[in-house]
Chain A
């Protein structure tokens, strides 16, 4: 089971991770070993065994749709790298054209 450098670059692009060439090479090599090792799972007979996503029995936990105290804007934005007028600033999302 190998992960090629090209695959690593593609996955890194999906995951929005800028990797150096050295990192791509190293991770491809290391993760190939890890994936080969993880192939052991294929030996387990899991026919008819449901997957466990999480061990809790409760689901769809809700609360009444009531307004509660929340963070004031200045506290909520205090860690944002770029702020303006009570908002977070980002690069444009859409093309200018």
Chain B
């Protein structure tokens, strides 16, 4: 297994190099630069002054030199400063990552809490009212976009309960209660969407496993239905579910910008989108590489989980 892990890690290197080239290239292809965005609507910045700032920021170097400089900064774990704000990128990430991680983790937990029981129920009671309700919930989760659901949730919370989560992010360590209040609704919105695909996958795989011979044997032995389903069928039905959940976690880390915007949370999504809009090259490049690295690691982790779920699986 160690050999397998090492081989997978080696394979990650070309993936990351390719990702770095793509993000570096795309950022340079985009018109405009951070200085244009920074100067905003002033309209009175001389060419000489702009050239001086570009030189200070080393944006006047040939592209290959800029690329190599950036790679060196990444490898030496000093990704530099934001062009736009002047803040060290490590500091920006240090603030944004915990927000997104907490949001993703809570959303994942809520998603699984919704998805797995309903998926199992839907499978075990196929073509009944509860199955149809479960499927409708799943299709709704897939169909309703985050921006719509999030807006609706915050608007109706204000109208009906005269309450919305306190705006102005507070970290968990500063005030756990207030922090959880702030994360509950956004995590529920994200979790609902995540639960949809997981719910459908759970339903179909449980249905499939319930038709297996060993399950029939379990029934024949006179085991309780609950034990048959949860102990014998569910574990074996979880491999495709884990694959989906792993992928979703990766998507969550990179794709929470809409929910972060609606609920005013200063996470990775907002940091990255703002950096893209303002052509803050080092911030975008670092964030993308971070997400790429996380996705590669998550995929590996998911693959390793298979063996735990199904001992027949061997890594070579």
Is the pairing of A and B real?
no
